[in-house]
Amino acid sequence: MRHLWAAPAPRRPINCCAIGPRTTYTRMDVQLLLLCVSCLLGACVGNTATLHQANKNGQCLYTFTVPGPVEGSCPQAAGEPEIEAIKNRLSLVEALLSRVLQGTPTASQVSLEREMARLQEENRHLKANQCHHRAGSTDDTRFWDLRGSSFMELKSEVTEVPASQMQTPPASPLDSGCGDLVWIGEPVSHRKADGIAGKYGVWMRDPQPMPPYTAETVWRADTVGSDVRQFFCYENGEQFARGFPSRVLVLPEAMESTGAVVYGGSLYYQRRKSRTLIRYDLNSESIAARRELPHAGFHGQYPYSWGGYTDIDLAVDESGLWAIYSTSKARGAIVLSQLDPASLEVRRTLQTNIRKQAVANAFLVCGTLYTLASYGTANSTINYGFSTVEAVGRPLHIPFQNRFGYTSTVDYNPAERRLFAWDNYHMVTYEVRLSPSRGQ
């Protein structure tokens, strides 16, 4: 260290013995010199230079302490924390640069790579252990066949499918029993009628076909006109979609409106302008039975809300053949009669409190009558259910779509578990779902 001693007296020269040769200075000179040195030391060396002032035997003593040439080049203890902090920062920077240059993965990258490796290993394991179809196997693999009916059923919930791919869906094990209707899918269009005669009509398949016809045979009648006698037969859905029937049956007596059904190899329909029901054998092409439906209104007395002389509507479900109609005694409320399929005799009759002209259509599923609220509203509902077993009814709210704005026919096919409907020239189907039966 260097020390500077100065002992000035007022207005006397002072002796500065530590700076150069012997020189004489005034008190003002010393003060200016001290000020400059203090500024210089403060700017250059900061806290490493010190200045002390003292009185020694009547003289002013000033002491400066600054780093020497050797000490100034060495790190001081007071600066070690700052140097260590800089070293730590440099270490972090070096580590980051090393990761960028060498591609060292971060923790999230390592986690993603591990997950990818695990999934790849699982994929290899699944491929190595997948089940291959064996010849002669009895396992039902139709669910995985994209050309099968199960796939078509799934597809029909989101889009319309070509009528050429219309197939009879197999009954699901979960739906083998009879329960309540809980869901109706979106309509699937299979064909559009040509001309005004196809504004409304009826089309169906036989749930219990008789040879030479099959479950794939499609039947159709355009019911616009005063003398409806033609009944068209198509071998399958593909022929039906093309519009060329394999046969055209000419009925001996004209049909009234859209209430006809095909069941057990026979066509059942209402004779025009009467309450007479006719059973027409499709194989022999002749009338097998006829009978009046007691007290039934006809030809516009108690139609559905859309009109069309829909006074008598025949229906089929798991329990058999039914007639939906009304009488003067019932004052327009729906009356249900179960019919003998062979003779058309009434087996039993139930009366509901549902006004027939207040609903757009009706059908039976598993012994329960269901009514459609509107024939034209795009998003309508199945608004009522009446159990023929318990003879009680209840309000419902099951969504039903009238996609084309004029639904004139809704019939249920118990073999396919589907609704067949006629909506403003369009022949459509609806998938349905039932709750588990009460016995399950």
E strands within 276-415? 276-281, 286-292, 313-317, 320-325, 333-339, 346-355, 361-365, 368-372, 379-387, 392-401, 407-413
Average pLDDT over residues 91-108: 58
Kindly report, residue by residue over 24-34, the tens digit of the pLDDT: 445 555 455 44
Closest CA to 338 of 304, 369, 311: 369
Domains annotated for the chain, with CATH where assigned, are: 14-73 (no CATH), 161-434 (2.40.128.630)
DSSP for 246-285, written as a single string: SEEEEEEEEE-TT--EEETTEEEEEBTTSSEEEEEETTTT
267, β-bridge pairs: 262, 280
User: 158 pLDDT exceeds 60?
Assistant: no
- Show Cβ contacts of residue 15 under 8 Å, excluding neighbours closer than 6 positions: 6, 7, 22, 24
pLDDT band at 20, cuts 50/70/90? very low
162, 429 contact by CB (below 8 A): no
Tokens 């010190």 locate to: 50
pLDDT > 70 in the chain, percent: 62
The number of beta carbons lying within 10 Å of the beta carbon of residue 7 is 18
Band (61; pLDDT cuts 50, 70, 90): low
Of 304 and 23, more confident: 304
Task: Read off the tokens for 211.
Answer: 């040879």
What 3-state class would DSSP assign to 408?
Answer: strand
Alpha helices in 103-243 (DSSP H): 107-129, 149-156, 237-242
**pLDDT at residue 49, as a whole number:** 52
206-245: pLDDT as tens digits = 999 999 999 999 999 999 998 999 999 999 999 999 999 9
Instruction: Give mean pLDDT, residues 327-345.
Output: 97
Order of strands, edge to edge, in the sheet holding 333-339?
A: 313-317, 320-325, 333-339, 346-355
CB 336 within 8 A of CB 403: no
pLDDT of residue 188: 97
Tens digit of pLDDT for each residue in 384-440?
999 999 999 999 999 999 999 999 999 999 999 999 999 999 999 999 999 987 654
3-state secondary structure 60-98: EEEEEECCCCCHHHCCCHHHHHHHHHHHHHHHHHHHHHH
Residue 10 predicted with pLDDT over 70: no
**Contact by Cβ (8 Å): 65, 50:** yes
Confidence of residue 6 (pLDDT cuts 50, 70, 90): very low
